[in-house]
Amino acid sequence: MDAISVIRTKRDRGRLTDAQIDWVIDAYTRGEVADEQMSSLAMAILLNGMDRAEIARWTAAMIKSGERMDFSSLPVPTSDKHSTGGVGDKITLPLAPLVAACGAAVPQLSGRGLGHTGGTLDKLESIPGWRALLSNDEMMDVLRNVGSVICAAGDGLAPADKKLYALRDVTGTVEAIPLIASSIMSKKIAEGTGSLVLDVKVGSGAFMKNLADARELASTMVGLGTDHGVKTVALLTDMSTPLGLTAGNALEVRESVEVLAGGGPADVVELTIALAREMLVAAGLPDADPAKALADGSAMDHWRRMIIAQGGDPDAALPVAREQHVVTAAESGILTKLDAYAVGVSAWRLGAGRARKEDPVQFGAGIELHAKPGDTVTAGQPLMTLHTDTPEKFDYALQALEGAADYAPAGTEFTANPIVLDRIS
């Protein structure tokens, strides 16, 4: 076979055969298919789609490209969570230690930022000394001793996905449902977790802009997990507005610690507890109470132990950007919209994300929100603060925020979207 024939098949809206899929994934992993060729195929998949059988075979080929992990030796059940990506989505940080404090083991393999959405590993790497790269033995040790681990997928776990994940970020193909589903599920199935809860984001700041697309993605992933023996459920959650009050690496770590300390924004707390309950039920621990574990400090204790176990200092000062710029409210009244996509792009332009897969991120860069939809504001009051080490980025970041906020006269009735929009199992 050859890459050009495979590309042409999908370009011309044909169906890839099992043999074509197996060959192209294997050849790309070995370097026989070049990045520019896989970029072309990924774009063809984005534009023309894949049927259910193609996605299943693509996922199986990704799993087959590497090793599979086994957590059966652990004395407690395992459960994991994956988010499809959003703005201000720091939920993994408080969630993993919270679920561990309730009696399940959480082997959380996470990724870096994709496009305008932040990456869990980028956030945690703002903690001095913290390591994302662990060997399989190190990962098992942290799980046994702490109960939760957040780390990068090792080179041996779905290596085809590791290459393709970074490529999608810089080629405009992140949003392809077949590639999202196969990327997530190949890693999670190969990871070996016993159960999985998917947080599928919906709205302007998500890759799925509407409920119909989100349901399609969620149903595809739930089916892939179930077919491979992993108990899988999905929550569809709102991403029309940023989660919490921060978007950016170190800023989101600070907010996550506030949640673990019993505070933090209400929407972050609500979603963290909702996902924790789903994970615990899926793991066979329906009587565990995550709200109690937040209140009594046990979740914070697990957080500190997890950070220390991965070389980090939970008491160290986090990076702070050298420059700030305050954006003020344009009108007085009720803030009715704060567009998540606009905030995400602005934070990315400030340095919180990367334009090329090899680019570094600024740990202190990002956006701090001072109001959310439903709040009453006065013209001229601070609406958000932009943070960056490179002030020449401010103008470009501000362009992304044009039209991001809408207002209504004071007294106007306003109802925010619920955090959890639907559940698919």
Answer yes or no: 183 catalytic: yes
| 184/165 Cα distance (integer angstroms) | 10
Contact 200, 177 (CB under 8 A): no
DSSP element (H, E) containing 206: none
Answer yes or no: 81 catalytic: no
CA distances in angstroms from 318 to 126, 198, 252, listed in the order given: 6, 29, 11
Q: Which of 57, 81, 123, 187 is catalytic?
A: 187
Which residues, 6+ apart, have CB-to-CB distance to 274 below 8 Å?
235, 419, 420
288: tokens are 């565990």
- E strands, 118-184, are 148-152
| 214/210 Cα distance (integer angstroms) | 6
Q: Which of 82, 112, 231, 305 is catalytic?
A: 82
Please state the separation of Cα 377 from the chain's center in Å.
31
Answer yes or no: 395 catalytic: no
Q: Which of 39, 65, 183, 195 is catalytic?
A: 183
- E strands, 203-245, are 231-238
Contact 354, 410 (CB under 8 A): no
Q: Residue 327's CB: how many other CB atoms inside 10 A?
A: 20
Contact 199, 83 (CB under 8 A): yes
| 163/33 Cα distance (integer angstroms) | 12
| 412/9 Cα distance (integer angstroms) | 54
| 92/261 Cα distance (integer angstroms) | 15
Please state the separation of Cα 255 from the chain's center in Å.
16
Contact 111, 120 (CB under 8 A): yes
Kindly write down the DSSP assignment for every residue of 286-336, as one continuous string: TT--HHHHHHTSHHHHHHHHHHHHTT--TTSPPP--SEEEEEE-SSSEEEE
HEC readout, 33-47:
CCHHHHHHHHHHHHH
Answer yes or no: 82 catalytic: yes
Q: Of how many residues is the chain composed?
A: 425
Q: Which of 112, 162, 168, 305 is catalytic?
A: 168
DSSP element (H, E) containing 260: helix 249-260
| 152/119 Cα distance (integer angstroms) | 11
Answer yes or no: 325 catalytic: no
| 125/133 Cα distance (integer angstroms) | 11
| 146/312 Cα distance (integer angstroms) | 14
Which are the catalytic amino acids?
A: 82, 161, 168, 183, 187
